[in-house]
Structure 1
Amino acid sequence: MEKKIILLTGASSGIGYQTAEFLAKQGHIIYGAARRVEKMEPLKKYGVKPIQLDVTVQESIDKAVESIIEAEGRIDVLVNNAGYGSYGAIEDVTIEEARKQFDVNIFGVAMLTKKVLPYMRNQHSGTIINIASIGGRLTTYFGAWYHATKYALEAFSDALRMETKEFGIKVSIIEAGGIKTPWGFIAADHLAESAKGGAYEAQATATANGMRKQYEGNMMSNPIVIAKAISRAVNSRCPKTRYTVGFMAKPLVWLHSWLPTRCFDAIMMRAS
């Protein structure tokens, strides 16, 4: 297996943490990036190199990427994993919070990708893996702004793949289903908080409670399934454009494609 230099964002918890460990054990050189470097300290025993990075700050991006280039001379793989979920009724969520969601989930991805692309073009090789979600193929109850970012990431990735093909750069999207990480609890907390005292409070509270129950139980897939999908993309000479993996990922995408829209809406509302 060819050893690759990999920059992985959002490596301090959940999918990113497990992926950093998994890829490092395969012998790759992993730069695990996150705002809170101290949370990645345990990954050092696997050979992961923690690096401070805030994907919404250009200076932070420049410093992180340039330090890797100085140390390694190249970046073979960029895994854009950093992101978060903020749920709430469109009427309740502030535009400031909506912008923050786009800053992290889309513009942060774009800023880091733009920084890495010239190096990949010069070496005429590279793989960019964007951690999306089936939430970029379908929409759940009270998830407008989160889903808007994930739909945007799908389009961004498709355009990027076409633009960079002639330079030997490959682009893959990981479309994750239900994964057992803190993501669901964070989204539920945002939803309940945003609805307090508003017209959607009863429905939002019930939905938030339902989300917490789903993530507390054993329904969701272990993050390792995403780590393995990322590994397949990293180690393949011709990675797939999309890897749809995790709890209910493929069935839900299929249902969304075939059911009448209002029928699918009803399922999403009842499932929440």
Structure 2
Amino acid sequence: MMSKNIIITGTSRGIGFELVQLLANQGHNVLALSRNSNPVSQLNLNNVSSFTFDLCNENDYVKVEDFIKTEWKHVDILINNAGAIVNKPFAETTFQEFQKVYQTNVFGVAELTKTVLPFMKNDGHVVTISSMGGIQGSVKFPGLSAYSSSKGAVITLVELLAEEYKETGPQFNVLALGAVQTEMLEEAFPGYKPPTTAKGMADYIQDFALTGNKYYNGKVLQVSNSTP
């Protein structure tokens, strides 16, 4: 397989951290973006670049654009993996908390995608990680009003982008994940131990990111073997 230029967000831990290693070890060039760049930097992988990036900071998008122009010229795959969560009763969730979740899970996905799109070819692939909680009709859990509703919003956003760019590409798809053994899941469901590990899910995502756009565009794939 030819080496690809791949951007991944939310790489300091969990699925994103595992994705960086999997894709880099396959020979792909990876730009790892996270508010904490240290975990990836400490891997010392030659084909991985990493710098501090916050989806809520407008100035950070300029850094990404400059990197692409200077180092890569084009991007093959964007994996919108970063996410924010608040787990508390709706009546206690503040305006600022709701806003922060949406800034990361929806507005940040939109802005980074907009930043990267001019550098993507017609066969590029934008993969956005959502949640089963964002699927209409799925089981819902108290305390996740901001998180799950934002994940529903980003699903609709991706469907719209696939329609808007269907003649020119790239392709856009969503993976709505079920329970995965990550720090974020522990925040939402303390003490719950799901059967799927972060590395196991990263294996699936990296394969889908590399090949899924041959078969899917504008689709939401539910990747779950458990409840929650």
SS in 1 for 2:116: helix
SS in 2 for 1:171: strand
The sequence identity of aligned pairs, in percent, is 27
Matched, 1:227 2:218: no
Choose the corresponding residue for 1:130, options 119, 128, 131.
128
TM-score (norm 1): 0.76
Q: Which runs of 5+ in 1 are unaligned?
A: 188-210, 253-270
Matched, 1:238 2:202: no
Q: Within 5 Å, give how 1:182-221 maps onto structure 2.
A: 182-187=183-188, 211-214=189-192, 217=193, 219-221=194-196
CA distance in 1, matches of 2:191, 2:53: 33
CA RMSD in angstroms comes to 1.7
The offset of 1:10, in angstroms, is 0.5
Q: Within 5 Å, give how 1:54-203 maps onto structure 2.
A: 54-120=54-120, 123-137=121-135, 138=138, 139-187=140-188
SS in 1 for 2:55: coil
Q: Tell me: CA distance 1:42–1:247, structure 2 relative to 1, closer, same or farther (3 Å).
A: farther
Q: Which runs of 5+ in 2 are unaligned?
A: none
Q: Report how many residues are paired.
A: 222
CA distance in 1, matches of 2:165, 2:43: 32
CA distance in 2, matches of 1:245, 1:24: 23
The offset of 1:88, in angstroms, is 1.4
CA distance in 2, matches of 1:242, 1:30: 24
| Residue type at the aligned position of 1:184 | L
Q: Tell me: CA distance 1:226–1:74, structure 2 relative to 1, closer, same or farther (3 Å).
A: same
Larger Rg, first or second structure (1 or 2): 1
The offset of 1:220, in angstroms, is 3.6
**Higher relative strand content:** 2
CA distance in 1, matches of 2:33, 2:115: 15
CA distance in 2, matches of 1:43, 1:73: 25
Which runs of at least 4 in structure 1 moved beyond 3 Å after TM superposition?
none
TM-score (norm 2): 0.90
